Amino acid sequence: MMLRSSPFLLIASLLAAIPANADGLYTKNSPVLQVNHKNYDQLIAHTNYTSIVEFYAPWCGHCQNLKPAYEKAAKNLDGLAKVAAVNCDDDDNKQLCGQMGIRGFPTLKIMTPSKKPGKPRMEDYQGARSAKAIVEAVVDRIPNHVKKVTDKDIEDWTSQDPEVPKVVLFTEKGTTSALIRALAIDFLGTVKFAQIRSKETGAVDRLGVTKFPSIVLIPGDNRDPILYDGELKKGPIIDFLSQVASPNPDPAPNASSNKSPKAARSSATVEDQDEPTGSPDPKVVPDDAKESKPAGVPSNAHPIPTLSTVEDLESACLTPKSKTCVLALHPELKEADSELPEPAKTAVASLSDIAHKHTVRKTKLFPFYSVPAINTGSKTLRDGLGLSQSQDSVEVIALNGRRGWWRRYDPSDSKEYGVAAVEAWIDAIRMGEGSREKLPEGVIVSQKEEAKEKQADHDEL
Ligand SMILES: *[C@@H]1O[C@H](CO)[C@@H](O)[C@H](O)[C@H]1NC(C)=O
Ligand SMILES: *[C@@H]1O[C@H](CO)[C@@H](O)[C@H](O)[C@H]1NC(C)=O
């Protein structure tokens, strides 16, 4: 080695000798996913997504030069593929970097999922070190689980596995966009995806499609197709599809805690069917329809969970990653132990009944929570949303930290808080209908994942 001849290399090697856990190149807020020897397997080897992984050392000049482009690529690929980095200077990661055969920094590898779980196809990325070139190379390798169909074979395709929900993208294009490929990966194993061209007029007419691109959900079990009319962005489309299935969690939950959403869905029932027999919960009481009480009166027999502390509220619904949550913010009580006054009592009971109905039917629904006024987070949230004047009254709101929107249930619009009115409001949210307010700043507890909200904005179907 020529260490003595080069002061720069000497400095580099001294820095390299700084003990493990020396800070990596990417901060916590970076859009680049930081991977280490512990989570590599779960995050990279076992994902259904394509990943690009940078193996680097913080002191390396080329690595530092790459950082802005790499972070930009990560932003552009958000929701489409994983952009990750491993700090090979960290002693803990040395074995991983060795196994990967890393000889110089930075080394960029693209991992494409293969048929064998846990064994992605690996190739060195040799292209230009610009965001654009990296994005293109990765997008090219996003697996395509979207079937191309035509007027001739769309019927065949839809009639296979009639209980499995299906999505058809109607498009003028012959290619399959990164966004629809990413969506098919999110729902791999639970929802089937196809695309059909606008010139296939038979299907276009039959499914009532009038513009391109359009997405049609065929919920399965002979239910009528639903035309999606929201924004053509990943987040809202996922929210829309969540009425039939939830996206695969990535990373996959550990085996022990794995309550397979697939198992639940395979026995999903037609909307109007009665409670399935053999319910896993022996305590489940009969559906409203079977009880002799008047229809539309909520019973609160299965109360929704309560968020009693600020921490619970924040971690359940107020992080930048939080998905849709419905909250009943209780009014302040006159005496500490008194019962909830009306109309709060009815509001909470209606939500409980709606949630219970979905549990019984095994349809996916976002969570509902009760938030008592003694939870100081409740007041903070009311203040943040400008609901502070009404501290003495219940507020039912829906919000989504990840997407940055919220909605308030207006009882004057909808005849107070009866089950039917609240359910209509919930259904509109499920379908992505109605207006949403932008969440004011400060409501979400940490803005560190800000970049994620731009998810896939650039990508067109
Ligand atoms: C990968 O896809 C399979 C279906 O082929 C699914 O069961 C699994 O949950 C997915 N894994 C992740 C991590 O998304
Ligand atoms: C799953 O297992 C891994 C390794 O055994 C562990 O690091 C991780 O924390 C576990 N995750 C959960 C959600 O339990």
- Closest ligand to C-alpha of residue 189 is 1
87 lines ligand 1 (CB under 6 A): no
Listed range (89-103, 261-275, 340-354) with the worst mean pLDDT: 261-275
Specify whether 135 is located in the same domain as 93. yes
Residue 177 lies in a domain: yes
- Residue with the smallest CA separation from ligand 1 atom 4 is 189
pLDDT recorded at residue 73: 98
pLDDT recorded at residue 333: 80
* CA 257 – ligand 2 centroid, Å: 10
Closest CA to 158 of 205, 216, 91: 216
Percent of the chain scored above 90 by pLDDT?
Answer: 56
Q: Per-residue confidence at 424, pLDDT binned at 50, 70, 90? A: confident
Per-residue pLDDT tens digits for 225-253: 999 989 999 999 999 999 899 999 998 88
Q: What's the one-letter identity of residue 311?
A: E
* CA 350 to chain centroid: 26
Q: Per-residue confidence at 221, pLDDT binned at 50, 70, 90? A: confident
**263: pLDDT strictly greater than 90:** no
pLDDT recorded at residue 317: 93
Q: Which of 43, 254, 258, 259 to mutate to test the pocket of ligand 2 (most atoms within 8 A of CB)?
A: 254
pLDDT, mean of residues 64-74: 97
Domain total of the chain: 3
230 lines ligand 1 (CB under 6 A): no
Which residue among 110, 139, 168 closes a domain?
Answer: 139
* CA 253 – ligand 2 centroid, Å: 8
Distance CA 357, CA 362 (A): 8
Per-residue pLDDT tens digits for 425-460: 998 888 877 788 999 988 998 754 444 444 444 445
Specify whether 120 is located in the same domain as 153. no
- Closest ligand to C-alpha of residue 145 is 1
Residue 63 lies in a domain: yes
pLDDT recorded at residue 428: 86
Q: What's the one-letter identity of residue 42?
A: Q
The dihedral built from the CA positions of residue 409, 414, 415 and 417, taken in this order, carries a sign that is: negative
pLDDT recorded at residue 244: 92
* CA 254 – ligand 2 centroid, Å: 6
Take residue 146 and report the two structure tokens written for it.
């979207």
Take residue 56 and report the two structure tokens written for it.
């680097």
Specify whether 121 is located in the same domain as 183. no
pLDDT, mean of residues 15-20: 46
Per-residue pLDDT tens digits for 78-100: 999 999 999 999 999 999 999 99
Distance CA 120, CA 441 (A): 40
Backbone angles phi, psi at 392, to 5 degrees: -90, 5
pTM of the shown model: 0.57
The closest-lying atom of ligand 1 relative to the alpha carbon of residue 250 is: 13
Please tell me the number of Cα atoms within 13 Å of 114 on its side-chain side: 10
Residue 121 lies in a domain: yes
pLDDT recorded at residue 167: 98
Listed range (41-50, 214-223, 263-272, 446-455) with the worst mean pLDDT: 263-272
Q: Per-residue confidence at 175, pLDDT binned at 50, 70, 90? A: very high
* CA 37 – ligand 2 centroid, Å: 13
Per-residue pLDDT tens digits for 347-368: 999 999 888 887 877 777 899 9
Distance CA 450, CA 403 (A): 10
Specify whether 273 is located in the same domain as 325. no
Q: Categorise residue 283: left if φ over 0, alpha if ψ from -120 to 50, beta otherwise.
A: alpha
Residue 303 lies in a domain: no
C-beta separation of 102 from 55 below 8 A:
yes
- Closest ligand to C-alpha of residue 48 is 1
48 lines ligand 1 (CB under 6 A): yes
Find the residues whose C-beta lies inside 6 A of ligand 2: 38, 253-254, 257
Listed range (12-21, 182-191, 324-333, 441-450) with the worst mean pLDDT: 12-21
Write the CB contacts of 248 (distance below 8 Å, at least 6 apart in sequence).
48, 186, 187, 188, 189, 190
The closest-lying atom of ligand 1 relative to the alpha carbon of residue 49 is: 14
- Residue with the smallest CA separation from ligand 2 atom 2 is 254
Percent of the chain scored above 70 by pLDDT?
Answer: 79
- Closest ligand to C-alpha of residue 187 is 1
Q: What's the one-letter identity of residue 46?
A: H
Residue 325 lies in a domain: yes
- Closest ligand to C-alpha of residue 184 is 1
- Residue with the smallest CA separation from ligand 2 atom 12 is 254
pLDDT recorded at residue 361: 73
**15: pLDDT strictly greater than 60:** no
Whole-angstrom CA distances from 122 to 10, 45, 119, 356, 377 are 33, 10, 9, 46, 47
Specify whether 155 is located in the same domain as 112. no
Specify whether 268 is located in the same domain as 379. no
Specify whether 351 is located in the same domain as 386. yes
Per-residue pLDDT tens digits for 280-336: 333 333 333 333 334 445 666 778 888 988 888 999 999 998 999 999 999 888 765
pLDDT recorded at residue 458: 42
pLDDT recorded at residue 389: 66
C-beta separation of 34 from 26 below 8 A:
yes
Specify whether 383 is located in the same domain as 337. yes
CATH code, 212: 3.40.30.10
The residue among 104 and 452 whose pLDDT is bigger is 104
189 lines ligand 1 (CB under 6 A): yes
Q: Per-residue confidence at 414, pLDDT binned at 50, 70, 90? A: low
**16: pLDDT strictly greater than 90:** no
Specify whether 128 is located in the same domain as 202. no
Specify whether 381 is located in the same domain as 274. no
Q: What's the one-letter identity of residue 276?
A: P
Long-range contacts (CB closer than 8 Å, 24 or more residues apart) made by 99-108? 100/55, 102/55, 105/55, 105/56, 105/57, 105/60, 105/62, 105/63, 106/54, 106/55, 106/56, 106/60, 106/62, 106/63, 106/66, 107/54, 107/55, 107/56, 108/52, 108/53, 108/54, 108/55, 108/134
Which residue among 222, 250, 284 closes a domain?
Answer: 284
Q: Per-residue confidence at 260, pLDDT binned at 50, 70, 90? A: very low
Residue 181 lies in a domain: yes
Per-residue pLDDT tens digits for 125-140: 999 999 999 999 999 9
pLDDT recorded at residue 415: 66
Per-residue pLDDT tens digits for 366-392: 999 999 888 889 989 999 998 866 677
The residue among 292 and 206 whose pLDDT is bigger is 206
Distance CA 295, CA 316 (A): 32
Which residue among 139, 154, 173 closes a domain?
Answer: 139
The closest-lying atom of ligand 1 relative to the alpha carbon of residue 251 is: 13
Residue 459 lies in a domain: no
Please tell me the number of Cα atoms within 13 Å of 332 on its side-chain side: 9
Residue numbers of the domain that contains 220: 146-284
Specify whether 159 is located in the same domain as 238. yes
Closest CA to 146 of 197, 198, 183: 183
Backbone angles phi, psi at 239, to 5 degrees: -55, -45
Residue 289 lies in a domain: no
Distance CA 33, CA 53 (A): 9
* CA 188 – ligand 1 centroid, Å: 6
Listed range (62-71, 249-258, 399-408) with the worst mean pLDDT: 249-258
Specify whether 132 is located in the same domain as 159. no
